[in-house]
């Protein structure tokens, strides 16, 4: 998997059988998460992400995430400074200053492992997006462990740490190649003023936009 594909959402406990519904006792939590994000039109928060690929040391980056419906998100990195991952609803762009170029791909074709977080931009429905769901408690909070219905994705498992209020504080994504991407979120602001101009990718002078390798 390329760095682009492994870079936008582990636990050893049993999931439910394929296509089985979530247990009724966790339905209230799932509905709370769905209602919280489905009602929001925009979102800002601070993030820290740690990526661990096969045989590679863990790499941690951080910054600010902006979301705006429909279908737009922007990851502005402060570490490393200047890095941007952006979706305008149709295409995604990844720009790293050290590469002196920006990679572009269709949102629906993107293999980037930040892609599971795009569900926050649409209509969140756990039963529609995931084929199996299991939970485990961590103090007052709950890990929701979900496997996507499609097997043709760069990732095979997504875990969400949800507060009783439905707020998501962490997302862990496990890739098909066993790579792992762990997001920690803080300072969430629902319906914060987010300008549409943030989601227009404007490459720095001299930076070439190229189609991402598939």
- Beta-strand pair 101-106/141-148: unpaired
CA 74 – CA 84 distance, rounded (Å):
7
Tens digit of each residue's pLDDT (9 = 90 or more) over 21-51: 344 457 889 999 988 988 888 999 999 999 9
CA 19 – CA 147 distance, rounded (Å):
10
Tens digit of each residue's pLDDT (9 = 90 or more) over 68-83: 988 888 999 999 999 9
Q: How big is the chain by its Cα radius of gyration, in Å?
A: 17
State both tokens at 66.
Answer: 């902006």
Tens digit of each residue's pLDDT (9 = 90 or more) over 93-114: 999 998 889 999 887 665 454 5
CA 158 – CA 171 distance, rounded (Å):
7
State both tokens at 121.
Answer: 């931009």
**pLDDT for residue 201:** 94
Contact 169, 184 (CB under 8 A): yes
Task: Tell whether omega for the bond before 70 is within 30 degrees of 0, i.e. cis.
Answer: yes
**pLDDT for residue 21:** 37
* Architecture of the domain made up of 3-207: Clam (2.50)
**pLDDT for residue 118:** 56
**pLDDT for residue 143:** 95
State both tokens at 156.
Answer: 């095979």
Q: State mean pLDDT over 58-70.
A: 91
Contact 25, 157 (CB under 8 A): no
**pLDDT for residue 122:** 62
Number of Cβ within a 10 Å radius of residue 168: 20
């Amino acid at each position: 998997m390329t760095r682009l594909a492994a870079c936008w959402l582990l636990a050893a406990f049993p999931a439910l059988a394929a296509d089985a519904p979530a247990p009724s006792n966790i339905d209230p939590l799932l509905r709370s998460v769905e209602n919280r994000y489905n009602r929001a039109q925009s979102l800002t928060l601070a993030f820290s992400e740690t990526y661990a690929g096969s045989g590679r040391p863990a790499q941690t980056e951080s910054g600010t995430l902006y979301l705006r419906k429909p279908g737009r998100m922007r990851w502005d990195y402060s570490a490393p400074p200047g890095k941007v991952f952006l979706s305008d609803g149709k295409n995604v762009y990844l720009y790293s200053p050290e590469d002196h170029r920006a990679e572009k791909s269709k949102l629906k074709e993107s293999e980037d492992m930040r892609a599971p977080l795009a569900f926050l931009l649409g209509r969140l429905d756990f039963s529609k997006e995931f084929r199996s769901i299991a939970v485990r408690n961590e103090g007052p909070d709950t890990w929701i462990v979900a496997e996507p219905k499609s097997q043709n994705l760069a990732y095979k498992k997504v875990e969400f740490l949800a507060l009783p209020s439905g707020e998501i504080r962490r997302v862990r994504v496990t890739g098909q190649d066993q790579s792992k991407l762990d997001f920690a979120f803080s300072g969430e602001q629902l319906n914060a003023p987010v300008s549409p101009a943030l989601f227009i990718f404007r490459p720095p002078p001299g930076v070439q936009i190229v189609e991402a390798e598939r």
